[in-house]
């Protein structure tokens, strides 16, 4: 219910009177809804210094079994497996642990009309995926959908 999809038990535990009118109303009060959502994310361990997810590309022969979001590796390990930024550049490396998700059912091969007339070689196909950081999994505790968390990540990136 409300602006942020609270269930009654979550509202009872994390609801906040954001406009100080003496009641918690996440349906008709944006202040209460925002304060309650912020309180819930804070209690889940939200880290405002981290992003939620990062869109990346993968080589066409990437091991698709790793795209479940449950396989966790450091950023350096993902980079070594060919995970790149959408422009082909290197992702940040380091010891931060991340998962990787993609819509495996929608991975498509390169169409035959994409062959270069000069070389008669198809460009290397890529898979679009998302590196998923700890805040991604905090959102999934709220709503256990990869695509809900990705949508929030994309919106967050646009609002920066």
Provide the mean pLDDT of the chain. 87
DSSP class of 42: H
Least confident of 67-76, 88-97, 114-123, 146-155: 114-123
Q: Note whether 68 and 130 are within 8 A (CB).
A: no
Number of separate helices (H) and strands (E) present in the chain? 5, 4
Pick the more confident residue, 86 or 125. 86
What digits encode the pLDDT tens for the residues 17-46?
999 999 999 999 999 999 999 999 999 999
What digits encode the pLDDT tens for the residues 75-105?
999 999 999 999 889 999 989 999 999 877 6
Backbone angles phi, psi at 6, to 5 degrees: -80, 145
Rg of the chain on CA atoms, in Å? 20
CA angle 53, 54, 55 (to 5 degrees): 125
Confidence band for 160, pLDDT divided at 50, 70 and 90: confident
Of 37, 73, 53, the closest CA to residue 150 belongs to: 53
Confidence band for 134, pLDDT divided at 50, 70 and 90: very high
**pTM above the 0.85 mark?**
no
């Amino acid at each position: 219910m409300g602006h942020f999809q609270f269930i009654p038990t979550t509202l009872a535990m994390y609801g906040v009177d954001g406009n100080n009118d003496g009641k918690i109303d996440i349906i008709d009060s944006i202040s209460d809804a925002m304060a309650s959502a912020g309180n819930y994310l804070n209690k889940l361990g939200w880290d405002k210094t981290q992003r939620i997810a990062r869109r990346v590309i993968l080589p066409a022969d990437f091991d698709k079994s790793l795209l479940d979001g449950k396989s966790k590796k450091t950023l350096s390990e993902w980079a070594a497996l060919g995970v790149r930024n959408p422009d082909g550049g290197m992702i940040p490396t380091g010891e931060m642990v991340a998962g990787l998700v993609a819509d495996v059912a929608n991975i498509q091969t390169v169409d035959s009309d994409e062959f270069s007339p000069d070389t008669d070689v198809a460009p290397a196909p890529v898979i679009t995926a998302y590196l998923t950081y700890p805040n991604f999994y905090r959102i999934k505790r709220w709503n256990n959908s990869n695509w809900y968390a990705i949508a929030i990540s994309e919106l967050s990136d646009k609002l920066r």
